[in-house]
Amino acid sequence: MLELNGISKEFGGVRALSNVSFTVKAGSVSALIGPNGAGKSTLLNAISGIDPPDQGEVVFAGERVNGLSPMTIARRGLSRTFQHLELFGDMTVLENVIVGRNARTKAGFLASGLRLPFALREERESRKTSEEILDYIKLSHHRDDLASNLPIGEQRVLEIGRALATEPKLLLLDEPAAGLNMRETRDLGELIKRIRTEKGITIILVEHDMDLVMSISDAITVLNFGEVIARGTPLEIQKNPLVIAAYLGDEEA
């Protein structure tokens, strides 16, 4: 599904990523972990095209996508959530999800303005699909509330719902559990598993909550100082001395 070959990225002389390469199998859940500043978010941005890599190659669904605009990459079936929530705050929950449908719909200014039949049909279908997604992520009861009024946990879930609306093949989750309590984190884990098994969507997540990572991931990649220091199943990673050193050395968590 996704193949990274020698990704490097510099910010003003500082190497944020160096020669990162790994492959993500279709239908798997992969986690990206590492201490703060290890380059996890930078890597997600490089993959989704928001901050393209200086060197290397991102191959998504068999095609090279680096150099393409994030919009094009999104339309090819890569969707994501954000570490610092980026919801459309003054739109309702349902509207947020419908915006996700935009990548799959067409009606422009003229068609919507004149209420052409195809635009109306499209609108009905978007609405229906979005409502189904709200059911799926269990936010239907907040359907008409402003997104900014939701508690943080539900906002994170809503971002996932919005990403699902774009019908992605690959879903990037940037710290989906940040700010969530235990119960919310457990529910989130369930949701991610369901998305993988029921919808068959490949998932890459960046996460600090190790319990969550260990319980849902098929494969884990560990980054430190912009380099991949380990890659393997949760069990392998837990035993890897390099990983333990990196974590004990740098972080209290």
Residues in contact with another protein by the rule CB under 8 A: 48, 50, 69-72, 74-75, 79-80, 82, 86-91, 95, 98-103, 105, 107-109, 112-115, 119, 122-123, 126, 144, 162-163, 166
- Would you tell me how many other CB atoms lie within 10 Å of the CB of residue 179? 14
Residue 31 vs 87, nearer CB to another protein = 87
DSSP designation for 146? B
Residue 146 vs 214, nearer CB to another protein = 146
- Cα atoms in the Cβ-side hemisphere of radius 13 Å centred on 39: 25
Separation of alpha carbons 110 and 127, rounded Å: 20
Nearest distance in Å: CB 111, another protein: 8
Nearest distance in Å: CB 197, another protein: 24
Nearest distance in Å: CB 18, another protein: 24
Nearest distance in Å: CB 76, another protein: 9
Separation of alpha carbons 206 and 70, rounded Å: 19
- CA proximity to 53, closest of 109, 6, 115, 94: 6
Residue 52 vs 243, nearer CB to another protein = 52
Nearest distance in Å: CB 219, another protein: 24
Q: What stretch of H or E contains 218? A: none
**CB-based contacts of 6-15 (< 8 A; 24+ apart in sequence):** 6/55, 6/56, 6/57, 7/43, 7/46, 7/53, 7/55, 7/56, 7/57, 7/58, 8/53, 8/54, 8/55, 8/56, 9/39, 9/42, 9/46, 9/51, 9/53, 9/54, 9/226, 10/54, 15/225, 15/226
Residue 33 vs 163, nearer CB to another protein = 163
Nearest distance in Å: CB 141, another protein: 15
Residue 14 vs 109, nearer CB to another protein = 109
Nearest distance in Å: CB 133, another protein: 13
7, amino acid identity: I
Residue 162 vs 196, nearer CB to another protein = 162
Residue 114 vs 245, nearer CB to another protein = 114
Beta bridge partners of 78: 170
